[in-house]
Chains A and B, each alone.
Chain A
Amino acid sequence: MLRIHQVSALLFMAASGYMMWEAWELEYYTPVGPGAGFFPFWLGVILGAMSLIWLVQLSRPAGKPEEGRFLPDFKGRIQIAATIAALVLTALLLDLLGFQLTMFLFLIFMLLFLGKQPIWMSLIISAIGSVGVFYVFGKFLDVRLPLSSLSLLNKLGL
């Protein structure tokens, strides 16, 4: 646990260094006052200072984090990785397949494979959550959800 906290403090320090460097590339001060780089530069300085204090705190007995697992067990890791992968795929496929098909596939995956729900239940909820939501949001809430960019699916209203 301690090592993970120390690495995190170093990552924050690296981020603060990047902020300062990027801010320095922008205009720091202009004849009429602070430039685009002024505020981010000082934010970088404060973040770096705080990260350093945190790192020092971690080296003292009172500042040590409680021992324990940082990452979950294998099952938990799979569950989390699968959820993130499903979300990323949804973002990538949304414009290609359209909202209805992408959301249907996402919900089926979440309900059937991760949620271990019965197939009939998964199909009903996925249909409502995809096709149903598409029509309700479009008709009543004026929220236009995307149709597929593939002409075949688009012609089918998907």
Chain B
Amino acid sequence: MEAVQNLLMGFSVALTPMNLLMAFVGSILGTLIGVLPGIGPAAGSAMLIPLTFSMDPTGAIIMLTALFYGTQYGGTITSVLLNVPGEAASVVTCLDGYQMAKQGRAGVALSVAAVGSFIGGTFATICLVFAAGPLSRWALEFGPVEFFSLLLLGISLLMGLAGKSMIKALMMGVFGLALAMVGTDPTKGVPRFTFGVMELLDGIGFIPIIMGLFGLAELLENAEKSLAQTVLAKMSSLIPTRQDVRDSAGAIVRGSLIGTALGLIPGITNSASSFLAYIAERKSSKHPERFGTGMIQGVAGPETANNAHANGALIPLFTLGIPASPTIAVIMGAFLMHGLIPGPFLFKEHPALAWGVIASFCIGNVMLLILNLPLIGMWVKVLKIPYGILCAVIMGFLILGSYSVSNSAFDILVMTIFGVIGYLLRKLEFPLAPVVLTLILGPMMERSLKQSLEISQGSFLIFLKSPLAVVFLVLTALVLLLPSLKFFRRSKEAISGEEPV
């Protein structure tokens, strides 16, 4: 009952004209980013953060979260019409979605995907509504010892599941933590790793780093490829037949459950959710051999799962303050830049904002459902814009976004340097998701470790005195050590995909 009352209070915040506008703008921009090649949700969200500085924090967070789940809708359009996934999570949609398009059923594939995405997203939001209260109350009991152990578990999960090599993921995690160390030490006030550069005394801005690693690096990677001319499949009627509805209903239910459950676990990407939903559909089908030939379940299941995952992945952020993916880490950064700390205290100190943003998820999903189907023609036109123009415009936004964080041209140089680093790391097959997560969580981790050791006067045994911390540490050890077993490594390869960046 309390959850429903809180949600109603949230709707009173989310339904103000300004916040509705923010949800609308975020949804549209998210779909655009999902449609466009060469820019992912992490870089897209990072580019927009500077534009929100003068905004009210509630509106700003509503816009950025709407952008995040909006990208999932956009990615479907290119998968179905072009056989090119706009986002990594939509890769599996190409298998049956494009086949449906070739059979003249693109409209049906897109409308079923949109309805599935809406149901999946709404289901995950309802889970968030009911989980938020109990989980955040539980998290409020955490001291620095439990918090450090939880952060360690969250980061380990991400590193354990990101990419194919645990060693490379760990190296990237440490790289992110090292970047977080640059600047002035928070307790002693001494400069660390600043190389005598004045601009580094406040640390390296995470926005230029993310824009470099995820935005510029991808554009540089595309610069060496000759992108194929886009051949669009023809659009058809959007209305599914009764048989289509019957076939997709089960897939949407399964996709909602799979996506929401996997979204809760940091490190599991939404491409893994859509992949597992696709496998679940094949397994539950009487005709698994027909998958890949234009089965509607092959579109409905994965598309529902990736949207449920996107909304479900916000549950750990809102309740525990732990981001589950790079884009959510960017959203967490936006919270911090507006002076808010996501996690259990958010519900206690800023209930109107927390519940307003949660209520906006329902509104944003309705907006995306209503807007996207009639606007498919417009998105198709966007896809016809030559890549040379898109690339220049995205670069312009990268410059603008980097500069406006602290009105400093130095940040453009930082973005460029990290673009080159990101490009080289991609070539060396390093997963980049751990860098962003540890970059954002690094200062919190260091602070809670220091506080814990100060309480115990330097004794690490304090971590063994809290039963909860022991549970988290044992789970961390399992996550880090299990991949060395061959059996687990095989199953890990099955669920780790390209991270959605």
Contacts and interface: CB of A to CB of B under 8 A. Distances in A.
A125 B392 contact: yes
Contact of B192 (A40, A50, A143): A40
Interface in B406-444: 407, 409-410, 412-413, 415-416, 419-420, 423, 427-429
A76 B185 contact: no
Q: Top 4 A-B pairs ranked by shortest CB distance?
A: A115-B388, A76-B224, A72-B224, A36-B185
A133 B446 CA distance: 40
Contact of A142 (B54, B389, B415): B54
A36 B392 contact: no
Contacts of B291: none
B175 interface: yes
A10 B54 CA distance: 45
Interface stretch (B37-45, B165-173, B277-285, B492-500): B165-173
Contacts of B170: 46, 50
Contacts of A8: 428
29 contacts: A26-B190, A34-B449, A35-B187, A37-B192, A39-B449, A43-B174, A44-B178, A46-B174, A47-B174, A47-B178, A50-B174, A51-B171, A76-B223, A80-B224, A83-B219, A84-B220, A84-B419, A87-B395, A87-B419, A91-B416, A94-B403, A94-B409, A103-B396, A110-B395, A117-B389, A125-B389, A129-B392, A137-B51, A145-B403
Given A5-B428, A43-B181, A111-B392, A32 B174 contact: no
Contacts of A73: 224
Nearest to A72: B224
B410 A54 contact: no
A34 to B, nearest CB: 5
Given A36-B185, A116-B388, A143-B50, A90 B224 contact: no
B379 interface: no
From A91, A110, A116, A125, name the one whose CB has the most chain B CB atoms within 10 angstroms: A91
Nearest to B195: A22
B453 interface: yes
B264 to A, nearest CB: 27
B177 interface: yes
B53 interface: yes
A37 B50 CA distance: 32
B224 A79 contact: yes
B51 A94 contact: no
Contacts of B167: 50, 53-54, 57
Contacts of B467: none
Contacts of B339: none
A45 to B, nearest CB: 10
A83 B395 contact: yes
Interface in A88-136: 88, 90-92, 94-95, 99, 103, 106-107, 110-111, 114-117, 121, 125, 129, 133
Contact of B429 (A65, A116, A144, A145): A65
Contacts of B50: 143
B420 A84 contact: yes
A33 interface: yes
B188 interface: yes
A91 B446 contact: no
A19 interface: yes
A121 B399 contact: no
B415 to A, nearest CB: 8
B235 interface: no
Interface string B154-188: 00000000000001101100110110010001011
A12 to B, nearest CB: 6
B410 A91 contact: yes
B446 A39 contact: yes
A129 B449 CA distance: 46
Contacts of B458: 29, 33-34
A156 interface: no
Nearest to B402: A91
Contacts of A26: 185, 190, 192
A33 B420 contact: no
A114 B177 CA distance: 36
Given A38-B450, A54-B171, 9 more contacts: A36-B192, A65-B429, A70-B427, A87-B216, A92-B409, A111-B388, A117-B389, A125-B393, A142-B54
A12 B171 CA distance: 9
A144 B224 contact: no
B293 interface: no
A146 interface: yes
Given A12-B171, A79-B223, A115-B389, A91 B449 contact: no
A87 B449 contact: no
A117 B400 CA distance: 22
A141 to B, nearest CB: 5
Nearest to B220: A80
Nearest to B395: A110
Nearest to A8: B428
Contacts of B429: 65
A106 B224 contact: no
A26 B181 CA distance: 12
Nearest to B410: A91
A125 to B, nearest CB: 7
A54 B181 CA distance: 24
Contact of A103 (B181, B188, B399): B399
A76 B220 CA distance: 9
A129 B413 contact: no
B142 interface: no
A23 to B, nearest CB: 8
A50 B395 contact: no
Contacts of A103: 396, 399-400
Contacts of A34: 449-450, 453, 458
B220 A107 contact: no
B56 to A, nearest CB: 13
